[in-house]
Amino acid sequence: MTFAPDEARAADAAGDRTVVGVNLSLPLFRTLSGVLAGHPYLKVVVDRAEDTWHLLDTRVHPFHVDYIATRVLGMTPRQLDAELDAFNAQVYMAPDRRFLLGILSLHSDEDADGAERPFLVLETTEADTMHGALLQEFYDYVRHRVDGRLPLLLKPANHGQEHELALFSDTRIPRILSQELFGSRTRTCLNPGVAQGRLRYFRSPQEYRAGAADLGWADIVAMAGLPDDVPRVAGFINTRPTTPLSHTNVLASGWGIPNAIVRDLDALVERHGLDGAWVRYRVREDAVTLEQLSCAPALERPVWDTQRIHIGAPLIGDAPIMELHRLRLADRDSYGTKAAHLGELHHVLDSRTADLTAFYARPRPPRPDLLAHLGARLGEPEAPLEQLRSTAAERVARTVRAPRGVALPFHLHHLYLTSSPALQQGIGKLKLALELDALDMIDSLSLDLQHLMRSTPMPEEVARAITGAVPRLVADGRRLVVRSSSNAEDLPGFSAAGIYDSVTTVRGTDQLMDAVIHVWASLLSPRSVRMRHQVGISLDDTYMGVIVQEYTPADLGGVLVTCNPTRREDFRNVYLNCTAGSPERVVDGTVLPHQYLYNTVEGGGRTVAVGSSGTDLPADTRQALAELALAGRLLQSHFSTDDPDDALDIEWLMTGEGAFQLVQVRPYAR
């Protein structure tokens, strides 16, 4: 139905309550609004040609462009599909556009007396490139038609709009940044999902340690910050802010269980007596809810309880120590997944022949592909496919580097283990306990084995091989990093994020030998043994490779995943976390990182949260991170060979000179 622009009337009896031309009161807002990220919201369309605006019924019109095309311009859905990219460019990017599209959301804070004070926030879609004058016009138009008792703030939707708004005073255009709203959220989705289970609320680490042994597969674990060694359960709840890229959320993602931040959990538990109660726990991008159940539900044991992960037999023959750049993906059976992926990264960057366009070449109905968008991102909008492939490879090679170092094969781990009868006896005892499912013995046997390994000297043959491969690195006492590279990680259904150790403060031969043994021993930690046993990975098939690298000082470090973790259907965005120093600080929960989303289709980026620092990064650093996000998206095309949409998880660091080094490339747990 198309409305006459000068009419102010509701839609017909079909149930569409969209209105045109009327001023917006709070009751009307509540009538038309839906819910997004826990807040009521309403889509608005300003028609500059007709000097009116449309207040959309969000239930009926989930997309601005569909409404404009079919209800205002009289296009058919087929016509819109055929011209979708050109149409989007006209409504979101053209400086002389007819329509201004946005969202009004309702929020509240407290005044000086503690009374609740509602206010409205106006924002455009994230890909919108409104210049400053249009942002001012949009704000003024809405301000004059909204109940004057409601404060109205403009929220820049991306970094480009932040730059444009810097030309205007806060008095002229009152504003609020997305990170300010994000930081005040009471509930935030980390990993979507639904679970029914028993809520176990631990108010301190001491309470958790006392009760952890009793946790079962039907429990939902809630505490301020979940430890990395939390067992596999039905759901996670964090009561303090954390990031979707924390180790515990990567576990939640890989296990397919809901995880969210619920900052008001203490009040909910106190009010409804939820601790120990059975609940239905729902986590969505737009809402997080806990519903108390009247009785324990009839639950079937989860699929993962009988899940079995297959890994190929490791190659423990006489493989040599290899420089990373000589490895390829096929070498994972001798050197581990992590080392093989870094070797493959060297190949991609050095050869510059890999096709990095598969993600953009994939049909995404109604679009036959996104190659025109890739061309725009690469600065070659009209380039043919072969040229895009070449330019993409050059762009990635110019943006990122792969670390230099050596990879120790499984062969050396095998030689070490078989050099000691005591180690062989301890391994035999652990294998027997696993075969008998004697779970009460596994932890103590694993700890005994780890202790024995740390006191068992390195065989001379193995020590000579290692020191002979890295003489330059140990000769002058430079700092080294020793990383794990197992064949039992980064597997479909089993990411093993954070369960194996790395040592980042190694100097000299003695510390190098100790660090290698420490990494080998992490394969036998109680947690890693239990997790592999749960999914049927045999101890006989599990080996550890080791990566030895020279330490690279980092001004900034972080992790990116080539998807939006809280909304997987969003194929445009790359999600990136970072903080000062090494990337380990992002995933281990030491600090709350900066969080960004970068649109790798239409371009642009936006700040989600500024983390513990309290301030955003400089504009030039954020632009460099946009280039890193695009490089990650392009690398996805090479590493996700089975499905170009399979996301990557990339750990990276930025040196003082502004160069990016990728220290880990692996599939993102889904």
Query: What CATH number is associated with residue 581?
Result: 3.30.470.20
Q: Count how many domains the chain has.
A: 4
pLDDT beyond 80 at 473? no
- Please state, rounded to an integer, the average pLDDT across all residues of the chain: 91
- Residue 644 and residue 355 in contact, taking contact as beta carbons nearer than 8 Å: no
Does 4 or 650 have the greater pLDDT score? 650
Nearest to 279 by CA among 306, 299, 263: 299
Nearest-10 Cα torsion for 235, 236, 239, 242: -140
pLDDT beyond 80 at 313? yes
- What pLDDT shows up at residue 306? 64
Does 644 or 112 have the greater pLDDT score? 644
Strand partners, 661: 401, 653
Mean pLDDT, range 71-99, rounded to an integer: 94
Residues of the domain holding 603: 553-667
- Residue 412 and residue 462 in contact, taking contact as beta carbons nearer than 8 Å: yes
- What pLDDT shows up at residue 303? 63
Q: What is the CATH number of the domain that holds 257?
A: 3.50.30.10
Nearest-10 Cα torsion for 444, 450, 455, 456: 120
Mean pLDDT, range 87-106, rounded to an integer: 95
Side by side, the strands of the sheet bearing 544-550 are: 322-323, 405-408, 544-550, 480-486, 503-506
Mean pLDDT, range 284-288, rounded to an integer: 86
Count of Cβ atoms closer than 10 Å to residue 224 Cβ: 16
pLDDT beyond 50 at 9? no
- What pLDDT shows up at residue 305? 61
Within this chain, do residues 330 and 436 fall inside the same structural domain, yes or no? yes
Which of the listed residues 302, 337, 371 is the one where a domain comes to its end? 302
Radius of gyration of the chain (CA): 27
pLDDT beyond 80 at 150? yes
Residue 14 in any domain: the answer is no
* Identity at 270, one-letter amino acid code: E
Within this chain, do residues 269 and 203 fall inside the same structural domain, yes or no? yes
Does 640 or 395 have the greater pLDDT score? 395
Within this chain, do residues 545 and 557 fall inside the same structural domain, yes or no? no
Which of the listed residues 258, 280, 302 is the one where a domain comes to its end? 302
Residue 148 in any domain: the answer is yes
Distance CA 230, CA 540 (A): 25
Distance CA 95, CA 371 (A): 24
C-alpha distance from residue 411 to each of 21, 101, 336 (Å) = 75, 61, 11
Within this chain, do residues 542 and 562 fall inside the same structural domain, yes or no? no
- Residue 523 and residue 516 in contact, taking contact as beta carbons nearer than 8 Å: no
Does 414 or 246 have the greater pLDDT score? 414
Within this chain, do residues 340 and 483 fall inside the same structural domain, yes or no? yes
pLDDT beyond 70 at 624? yes
Does 8 or 424 have the greater pLDDT score? 424
Within this chain, do residues 536 and 571 fall inside the same structural domain, yes or no? no
Mean pLDDT, range 512-529, rounded to an integer: 95
Is 171 strand, coil or helix? coil
Residue 156 in any domain: the answer is yes
pLDDT beyond 50 at 650? yes
Pick from 26-30, 133-137, 322-326, 488-492: least confident: 488-492
- The per-residue pLDDT for range 367-380, each reduced to its tens digit, is 999 999 999 999 99
Q: What is the CATH number of the domain that holds 432?
A: 3.30.1490.20
Within this chain, do residues 464 and 595 fall inside the same structural domain, yes or no? no
- Residue 278 and residue 619 in contact, taking contact as beta carbons nearer than 8 Å: no
Residue 359 in any domain: the answer is no
- What pLDDT shows up at residue 670? 62
- The per-residue pLDDT for range 68-78, each reduced to its tens digit, is 999 999 999 99
Question: Strand 259-262 vs strand 278-283: parallel, antiparallel, or unpaired?
Answer: unpaired
Mean pLDDT, range 83-106, rounded to an integer: 94
Mean pLDDT, range 330-342, rounded to an integer: 96
Which of the listed residues 283, 302, 321 is the one where a domain comes to its end? 302
- The per-residue pLDDT for range 191-242, each reduced to its tens digit, is 999 999 999 999 999 999 999 889 999 999 999 989 888 888 999 999 998 8
Mean pLDDT, range 507-520, rounded to an integer: 95
- What pLDDT shows up at residue 598? 97
Within this chain, do residues 451 and 313 fall inside the same structural domain, yes or no? yes
243's tokens = 């990031």
Mean pLDDT, range 304-333, rounded to an integer: 88
Which pTM value belongs to this model?
Answer: 0.91
Within this chain, do residues 473 and 333 fall inside the same structural domain, yes or no? yes
Mean pLDDT, range 438-464, rounded to an integer: 94
Question: Strand 503-506 vs strand 52-55: parallel, antiparallel, or unpaired?
Answer: unpaired
- The per-residue pLDDT for range 475-501, each reduced to its tens digit, is 778 899 999 999 999 887 788 878 899
Is 18 strand, coil or helix? coil
Residue 5 in any domain: the answer is no
Distance CA 24, CA 31 (A): 11
Residue 108 in any domain: the answer is yes
Strand partners, 116: 110
Residue 240 in any domain: the answer is yes
pLDDT band at 581; cut points 50, 70, 90: confident
pLDDT band at 13; cut points 50, 70, 90: very low
- What pLDDT shows up at residue 478? 86
Mean pLDDT, range 44-51, rounded to an integer: 97
Within this chain, do residues 278 and 295 fall inside the same structural domain, yes or no? yes
pLDDT band at 299; cut points 50, 70, 90: confident
- What pLDDT shows up at residue 304? 59
Within this chain, do residues 152 and 234 fall inside the same structural domain, yes or no? no
Within this chain, do residues 27 and 127 fall inside the same structural domain, yes or no? yes
Residue 143 in any domain: the answer is yes
Is 9 strand, coil or helix? coil
